[in-house]
Chains A and B, each alone.
Chain A
Amino acid sequence: MPDQAYTPAEMMIVVAARKLAGVRTVFVGVGMPNIACNLARRTVAPNLELIYESGVYGAQPARLPLSIGDPTLVSGATSVVSMADLFGLYLQRGLVQVALLGGAQIDRYGNLNTTVIGDYAHPRTRLPGSGGACEIAINAQQLFMIMRLKRRAFVEKLDFVTSPGHLGDANRRAAFGLPGAGPSLVITDKAVLDFANSEREMQVAELYPQVTLAEVQAETGWPLRAAANLVATSAPTAAELECIRHELDPMGLYRN
């Protein structure tokens, strides 16, 4: 098949969708994660149930949702519940297999900051805060982070820990009694990183076409490890791109 031009966002969407193969329940955000989950449902995970923190289980949006409270998520859903039930009976009960999260800053253990840049009391930039991310990071069975690889985002030290990843070493989550296994993947626009080592430290697992390890390192604020068996990610297929461009994001709101 000839190479096809695609955007970094499309690559992220495609990779995230492929990683959801066989998954039954996913906790979704808006934008790229939402498109990735809907692509997965049409390809590798036909039984995928989309769960939104607004209180929707089994959403089948007829249009691209513009927020996690979009009314298109309600119409046609399997169930709409209160947020007390969503966070209690679905998330804390352990029914969420994978949650997709992003943030302004991430560190080598997959801890996330979505609260402030700078000092908390006198922030340079006030970010949105936790939303549901803190308890999602604690209770979902595993986490996929979706973030563009940028040096200002992949930092040595977070300005604020909003949501726990692997905290600081391999055993910390278990020692703290966190039910979920924490971050397993970080899906970026250049590479996929995982935590498949005994320290649970982020490492390069897959490189996208035409991307070098040096380029990934250049956008990361600490010396990056690479997996022993580095995988070359295959480019999006024509079918994947067709689905994104014509069905899921025809207006090009998130794929460009």
Chain B
Amino acid sequence: MYWRAVKGIGWPRQKTGESVLSMKLLSMHDAVARFVPDGCSLAIEGFTAFICFAAGHEIIRQRRRDLTLIRMTPDLIYDQMIAAGVARKLVFSYLGNPGVGSLHAIRRAVEKSIPQPLELEEYSHYGMVGRYIAGANRMPFFPLRSYVGTDLPDVNPAIRFIEDPYGTGPIAVVPPLNPDVAIIHAQRADADGNTQLWGLTGMQKEVAFAAGKVIVVVEEIVPEEVIRGDPNRTLIPGLIVDAVVHEPLGAHPSYVQGYYDRDNEAYLEWDRISQDLAATEDWLQEWVYAVPDRTAYIEKLDPGVMVRLSPGEALATPVNYGRYA
């Protein structure tokens, strides 16, 4: 079992077999300290899957302030970060606890300015995806068939309509989005940050190419040969990666395809906790501030949790790339 394997070898951070040491391999603490300054715009992406809670919690612990948080689905991680007071603005397209209900801390910030006011900039999903595509391609806007007849352009002046120069009429456009920093969680990378991800690839490739700095956080560091053995699976090249963090189970209570399932009980529990301000603060104290790092967080979890979340095996048939030597 994956979780047992991780525990059994004593959290071998940066144990990369025979691979060379890389300047990019950092602890989560150091990656956040170096690349996530106060006031920056930050996208921790991943649609339900691959949400890097380990990074979010470290940002809370380092008491970052005035961040512009960017995520299509803010999810629990931004609810927790906003409850902790790290953000002044949120850019998003769906503000819910997926499959559960509301994000209560964000609603408290929006409806009652607790712990502080939160500026919202909202799009639809395809609008956010389009913003990342334009940002990644360094283009001035992205055209899409959306927003017609709705009130969204009235509350977000960045959503506009232009005339198709080829004569088909008006078309909605959204501007590029280039976060200062993107944090992407994935199954594996080599020490240079060549990152392989399977499952819901979502918008991670686009946001990585759009961002100024990229931190990848992975379950496993693998030798370069593993990456080169299956190049179609490489979503993000090391070329655009600034830091590689080896953080097994770093996405809990979100999930990593084939490694662990989503902890739906934690999502339901947060729904209860987050409705109460004092309970929310107690939770942050117990599970974030009082916990030095992800290793301690996982050790604090009931061991039964990760056993329960083990997904079993469904292996793909290997493919032949051919030798061509």
Contacts and interface: CB of A to CB of B under 8 A. Distances in A.
B252 interface: no
B150 A163 contact: yes
A92 B144 contact: yes
A87 B129 contact: yes
B203 A84 contact: yes
Contacts, number: 163
B93 A129 contact: yes
Interface of B is mostly: loop
B48 A54 contact: yes
B92 interface: yes
B111 A71 contact: no
10 contacts: A69-B98, A80-B199, A92-B126, A126-B111, A130-B123, A131-B124, A132-B93, A134-B126, A134-B127, A135-B144
Interface in A59-118: 66-71, 74-76, 80-84, 87-88, 91-92, 111, 115
Given A54-B200, A54-B202, A129 B92 contact: yes
A83 B95 contact: no
Given A83-B203, A176-B148, A126 B107 contact: yes
B287 interface: no
B96 interface: yes
B47 A138 contact: no
A88 B126 CA distance: 8
Interface of A is mostly: loop
Nearest to A139: B145
Interface string B149-179: 1111001000000000000111000000000
A245 interface: no
A254 to B, nearest CB: 10
A30 B126 contact: no
Contacts of A164: 148-150
A22 B257 CA distance: 33
Contacts of A80: 198-201
A135 B151 contact: no
The 10 A-B pairs with the shortest beta carbon distances in the complex, nearest first, are A69-B48, A67-B99, A131-B94, A164-B149, A128-B96, A67-B98, A130-B124, A135-B146, A132-B125, A134-B124
Interface in A24-77: 30-31, 53-56, 66-71, 74-76
Interface string B168-205: 11100000000000000000000000000011111101
A133 interface: yes
A178 interface: yes
Interface in B247-306: 255, 257, 261-262, 264
A115 B122 CA distance: 10
A55 B200 contact: yes
A132 B124 contact: yes
B147 interface: yes
